[in-house]
Amino acid sequence: MLISGSDLLTVAAKNSFAVPAFNVSDYSMLNAVLAISEEKQSPLIIAIHPNEIANLGWDVMPSVIQAARRASVPVAIHLDHGATYEQVLQAIQGGFTSVMIDGSMLPFEENVALTARVVEAAHAVGVSVEGELGTIGKTDGYAEEGADTIIYTDPADAVTFVERTGVDTLAIAIGTRHGIYPSDLQPELKLDLLREIDAAVDVPLVLHGGSNNPDAEIGEAASSGVNKINISSDIKVAYYLKAREVLADTNLREPDTIQPPCRDALKAVAAQKIDLFGAAGKAELY
Ligand SMILES: [Zn+2]
């Protein structure tokens, strides 16, 4: 069942769990996240970043939409980190049911103006919008957009931002970073700040870059107002670690022998996230 991002997250907010948003970069990963979500009966957000859609090609969209419609669990197709108004409109035209406009690196007023403009267009056609306030860190050059230092989301600014833009969900910066943490950097979530923001704003909150934060912190965030958690690095690392192992056998050449064990490795990590977020079995609520 294909649904909008806000229909998906309203139920999650009411029942205090988080829906995993898994980034997919190819068909094999798409099939893996769909399969594990059905096995776990978990709602799913298929997240596709502009770099990923560039890699996949726009022609993949009818297949993604068809797969989402056919799924036995509710699925939203989400544009991750839309950078411009034009990019978001293109995604809506391509069939995305949820879009993110990331103006977090802009000055506050410009972020408000850009996000409000996107909300007006997206809501006209029933597509939900995620905005971002504060800056999520990044760990290395391979990570998605982000700052070298984290600027934590200010609760009062969050209230103003949600009111003035009309966003359906808000990505906040409370101590996560995109990418995989180097061993000398210790991730730590400000759960008190999360609770403060959650008490102040009434839209579901989104966590980006939670790949290396301790499970206990992420689990607590998922029951404290965070209703969407983006997972990209963790599942890709699992997929390609297995790929390196499998490809050690240099006789292999057929994707149907190389990819299935990689998908299994991705699914094992995804299953653990689904359980951690409290999303297993929640498909029946829709
Ligand atoms: Zn992100």
Name the nearest CA neighbour of 203 among 133, 102, 114.
Answer: 133
Query: What would you measure as the largest C-alpha separation in the chain, in angstroms?
Result: 59
Distance 252 CA to ligand 1 centre (A): 35
Asked if residue 123 belongs to a known ligand binding site, the reply is: no
pLDDT tens sequence across 251-262: 999 999 999 999
The structural domains of the chain, with segments of one domain joined by +, span 5-285
- Whether this prediction's pTM lies above 0.85 is answered by yes
Catalytic: 80? yes
Average pLDDT over residues 109-114: 97
Asked if residue 78 belongs to a known ligand binding site, the reply is: no
End-to-end CA distance of the chain: 10
Average pLDDT over residues 160-189: 84
Average pLDDT over residues 94-107: 95
Q: How far apart are CA 103 and CA 110, in angstroms?
A: 8
Q: Is 5-285 CATH 3.20.20.70? A: yes
pLDDT band of 113, cuts 50, 70, 90: very high
- Which residue blocks in the chain are alpha helix, DSSP H? 5-14, 27-40, 50-56, 61-70, 85-94, 108-124, 155-165, 191-200, 215-222, 233-246, 255-276
Average pLDDT over residues 92-110: 95
Contact predicate 158/201, CB 8 Å: yes
Residue with tokens 């839209």: 203
pLDDT of residue 142 exceeding 70: no
Contact predicate 74/283, CB 8 Å: yes
In this structure, what are the phi and psi dihedrals at residue 20, rounded to the nearest 5 degrees?
A: -75, 135
Asked if residue 208 belongs to a known ligand binding site, the reply is: yes
pLDDT tens sequence across 202-234: 999 999 977 777 899 999 999 999 999 999 999
Q: What is the pLDDT of residue 66?
A: 98
Q: How far apart are CA 276 and CA 284, in angstroms?
A: 18
Distance 22 CA to ligand 1 centre (A): 11
Mean pLDDT score of the chain: 93
The catalytic position among 7, 80, 154, 234 is 80
Q: How far apart are CA 261 and CA 173, in angstroms?
A: 35
pLDDT tens sequence across 57-79: 999 999 999 999 999 999 999 99
Distance 281 CA to ligand 1 centre (A): 26
In this structure, which amino acid lies at residue 281?
G
Q: What is the pLDDT of residue 151?
A: 81
Distance 285 CA to ligand 1 centre (A): 27
Q: Which residues surround ligand 1, an ion (CB under 5 A)?
A: 208
Asked if residue 102 belongs to a known ligand binding site, the reply is: yes
Asked if residue 49 belongs to a known ligand binding site, the reply is: no
Average pLDDT over residues 235-264: 97
Contact predicate 98/77, CB 8 Å: yes
pLDDT tens sequence across 19-65: 999 999 999 999 999 999 999 999 999 999 999 999 999 999 999 99
Distance 208 CA to ligand 1 centre (A): 5
What SS3 class is residue 108?
A: helix
In this structure, which amino acid lies at residue 188?
E
pLDDT band of 134, cuts 50, 70, 90: confident
Q: How far apart are CA 182 and CA 211, in angstroms?
A: 12
